[in-house]
Amino acid sequence: MKYEYQGSILKRINSPADLKGLSDGELEQLCTEIRSKLIDTVASTGGHLASNLGTVELTVALHKSFDSPADKIIWDVSHQAYTHKLLTGRAERFSTLRTEGGLSGFVRPDESEHDSFYEGHAGTSVSQAAGVAAANAIKGSKNFAVAVIGDGSFCSGMVYEALNHAGSTKNRLIVILNDNEMSISENVGALARYLAIVRAKPEYYRFKAGTEKALNRIPIVGRSLSNHLFKLKTALKNILYSSSFFEDLGFKYIGPIDGHNINQLCEAMDSAKMIAAPVLIHINTLKGRGYDYAEHSPEKFHGISRFDPHTGEPLSVGENYSSFFGKTMCSFAAKDKRICAITAAMTLGTGLEEFSTRYPERFFDVGIAEEHAVTFASGLSAGGMLPVFAVYSTFLQRSADQLIHDGALQRRKLIIAVDRAGFVGEDGETHQGLFDVPLLQSLPNTTVYSPATYEEINSALYSAFYKDSGLIVIRYPRGSEPEEAKGLPVPDEVDLFGDSAADTAIVTYGRLFFNVLRAQEILAERGVNVKIVKLARIKPLPERTFEFLDGCKNVFFFEEGMKGGGVGERLGSELLEKGFKGSYTVTAVDNEFVAHASVGRQLEKYSLSAEGMTAVIEKQVKR
């Protein structure tokens, strides 16, 4: 089957208003066309596929029932908002998804008035929507705030803080819980499903309001009778749905609804608009809907690189830093039963699938709850285990308080494996791994390694398990090590490459080392002799670093991270304290968020490619 958009309806949709007049048959056909468009595009650009295939009907129903952008639709994480982009005037540019200068893989307000927030992390939508609803109430606006959140994000503690607060208001807030994996509310067979559909219809709420009004008019017994009927109805509903949790928080509950039935979805949304209280609509969807490969392997197609749409197979395979880390963890765990692995709903992404299978009793997926993961790891450590929490850099920053209070302060061994450190490419601003180093630089009792090679990951893990104490962080990039890594000597915490007598030095760490090697070759061809000081441990700085730099006239630090609070700034400060008299230049990301593009292009933009480094050095040396 060739997955290619050839339909005619999507071409007619330039804004959500164009959905209002479509027939039921046209809406179904539109969903079919959208799925073909999604598969075609993501196969070419990479991105999040399974989650988007699962929310096609939901998104169509949202834009048919609500009036965006006056009504604010707020997507949790927003990796499932591709259909939203197609329906809000971005269909013609959709082929540019996740490419430099093209559409982002997430919602962003500078891209469309229909995008309310920059969204890339989980558990934020209900708080944001509650704030919008409160602002609407203050202004006397009749518009709605709608939060669309997946069941996975319901692991986030922030969600419950928001529900607890918002449920105490009467604001026009609607939360749509997209349940595509775990069952949150049980139901009892056909009767429950039938009553859920009835309760979702606007006619039900009109009848309910009319009945209550009539009963309240009956002298003496009317209000009492109305209250008793309400209690009876609530008790029956709780038996059928176990939905009292949300209603105890102050939300009216509608559901569960078939998330692939547009009519039922629209009826539920129209009903929710009639209720003078916050509403939670619970829908059931299937991740990967309409594409067999994604339906059978939703985790594989959650975030996927370019693939063959005919076979579902990725176009590039092979070992990478994440998979090597996972394999190495298994090797250590086979010999030491104290070693445990923790993930926050990222088993595949962090390379821990094999570990989870081989050592299930020592593997913990805590869900999207990074704060809990760090503190849980602290507890494991207190119990005599050697815990390793594997997490993407962008998500580690969510646990800043726990790293300080429950990590470094406790003076127990706690290991954090930071995946996707540095530029991540096409995922853009919300996912760049550029902020972990400035965060970690300020923490006492903390050791940070930044390996450039697979062998250095192995070495850093050994040191973390058996040599170091306190909070230990091992950070490594997305992707694979280059071929040049295979010829390197056994790594040390700091190594010198080149002529030790050279008075110009380049200092770096992580994968930038390989760009620095190429820059060294280019400079040598142009008559500029430089030596390289390669850091494997970036906190605390190895004392030999300063020995290697002694007597240098020019020192250049290249860093794939933020300049403010980075290792380059720390080294410069310590050099100054030691009386360094030469020129010192730091090249890093300076006070800005990095837009989506390929990693190669991002390195070029910030003068972190070999050519960019060469230009920076030649300019200073000539001066």
H helices present in 46-97, as ranges? 50-53, 56-65, 82-87
User: Given 72, 273, 287, 534, which residue is catalytic?
Assistant: 287
User: Given 267, 370, 493, 560, which residue is catalytic?
Assistant: 370
Radius of gyration of the chain (CA): 28
- What is the distance between the alpha carbons of residues 546 and 316, in angstroms, rounded to a whole number? 41
Please write down the HEC assignment for all residues of 574-607.
Answer: HHHHCCCCCEEEEEEECCCCCCCCCHHHHHHHCC
Q: Say what the alpha-carbon torsion angle 8, 9, 10, 13 is, to the nearest 10 degrees.
A: 130
User: Given 273, 289, 398, 537, which residue is catalytic?
Assistant: 398
| Residue 110, C-beta contacts closer than 8 angstroms, at least 6 positions apart | none
Say whether 181 is catalytic.
no
Q: Say what the alpha-carbon torsion angle 366, 370, 371, 376 is, to the nearest 10 degrees.
A: 40
Q: Are 396 and 371 in contact (CB under 8 A)?
A: no
Residue 359 carries which side chain, given as an amino acid letter?
Answer: Y
Q: Are 523 and 619 in contact (CB under 8 A)?
A: no
Please measure the distance between the N-terminal and C-terminal CA atoms of the chain and give it in whole angstroms: 62
Helix, strand, coil percent values for the chain (each to nearest 5): 45, 15, 40
Say whether 426 is catalytic.
no
Give DSSP secondary structure letters for 412-455: S-EEEEEES-B---TT-TTT-B-SHHHHHHT-TTEEEE--SSHH
Task: For residue 67, report the phi and psi dihedrals to the nearest 5 degrees.
Answer: -115, 80
Residue 108 carries which side chain, given as an amino acid letter?
Answer: R
Q: Are 30 and 9 in contact (CB under 8 A)?
A: yes
What own/partner pairs with CB < 8 Å and gap ≥ 24 does 356-361 have?
Answer: 358/330, 358/333, 358/334, 359/330, 359/333
Angle at 64 between CA 61 and CA 66, to 5 degrees: 100
> Which of these, 288, 262, 286, 271, lies nearest to 62 by C-alpha position?
262
Q: Are 104 and 98 in contact (CB under 8 A)?
A: yes
> Which of these, 478, 474, 503, lies nearest to 491 by C-alpha position?
474
> Which of these, 347, 441, 333, lies nearest to 152 by C-alpha position?
347
| Residue 526, C-beta contacts closer than 8 angstroms, at least 6 positions apart | 614, 618
Say whether 398 is catalytic.
yes
Report CA torsion sign: 568, 599, 93, 10.
negative
> Which of these, 480, 560, 479, 571, lies nearest to 533 by C-alpha position?
571
Catalytic residues: 287, 370, 398
